[in-house]
Amino acid sequence: MMSDRDYTLIIDKSGSMSTPDQAGGRSRWDIAQESTLALARKAEQFDPDGITVYVFSGRFKRYENVNSAKVAQIFQENDPAGTTNLAGVLNNALDNYFQRKASGQTKPNGETILVVTDGEPDDRKAVFEVIIQATRRMDRDEELGISMIQVGADPQATKFLKALDDQLQGVGAKFDICDTITLEDLEDMSLADVLANAIND
């Protein structure tokens, strides 16, 4: 399943990502950079055209064909600031997938979207809506997967991500395409390991 699949990474760059609450006094943003690099290196082995990376706060920016060499540049160009408009960036990433699918440009095994975020989105309901609508456009469960990865320990964010994990089908999603991982789940795993796992699932 790892090969012949596209990977999109969505990174939260809201203001709180600069919080230095990670091991060794590093910020959540530093950790996100490290993990993005690890993912890009891993993905390069079986997806030579690189990964798609989004960074978002109130607005988002999309980077195509990102290889490990390009990751540092993305992080240099972006500083944590602003709000958490997760619905907007997810909507763009999912629309992009369905457009490519319609024109026969997706990989046979579909796509995995990984979201690295530390906070609760500006509009929880909108995030649910976007994902539910996407599941209704899907033909099979495996074609699309969204992994939400929480950095930092905001209890509201944990609650929201858990709801996404558990309640999607109860509120009308055709497939249960979301799974979430919090730092508690991580324990001894680094974020890099988690990203590798999401690729392997």
For residue 184, the model assigns a pLDDT of: 62
For residue 22, the model assigns a pLDDT of: 87
Q: List per-residue pLDDT tens for the chain, 201 residues long.
A: 456 888 899 999 999 999 998 889 999 999 889 888 887 888 777 777 888 999 999 999 999 999 888 998 999 999 999 999 999 999 999 999 999 999 999 998 899 999 999 999 999 999 999 999 999 999 999 999 999 989 888 899 999 999 999 999 899 999 999 988 875 666 666 666 776 666 665
For residue 50, the model assigns a pLDDT of: 85
Token pair in block for residue 82: 């602003």
**What is the C-alpha separation between 137 and 179, in angstroms, rounded?**
19
**What is the C-alpha separation between 98 and 118, in angstroms, rounded?**
27
Identify which of 26, 80, 3 has the alpha carbon closest to the alpha carbon of residue 190.
26
* Pick among 3.40.50.410, 3.30.70.20, 3.40.1500.10, 3.40.50.10470: CATH of 6-198: 3.40.50.410
The ranges assigned to domains in the chain are: 6-198
For residue 153, the model assigns a pLDDT of: 84
For residue 37, the model assigns a pLDDT of: 87
Rounded to 10°, the helix 68-77/28-46 angle is 150
Q: Cβ neighbours of residue 35 under 8 Å, at least 6 residues apart?
A: 116, 190, 191, 192, 194, 195
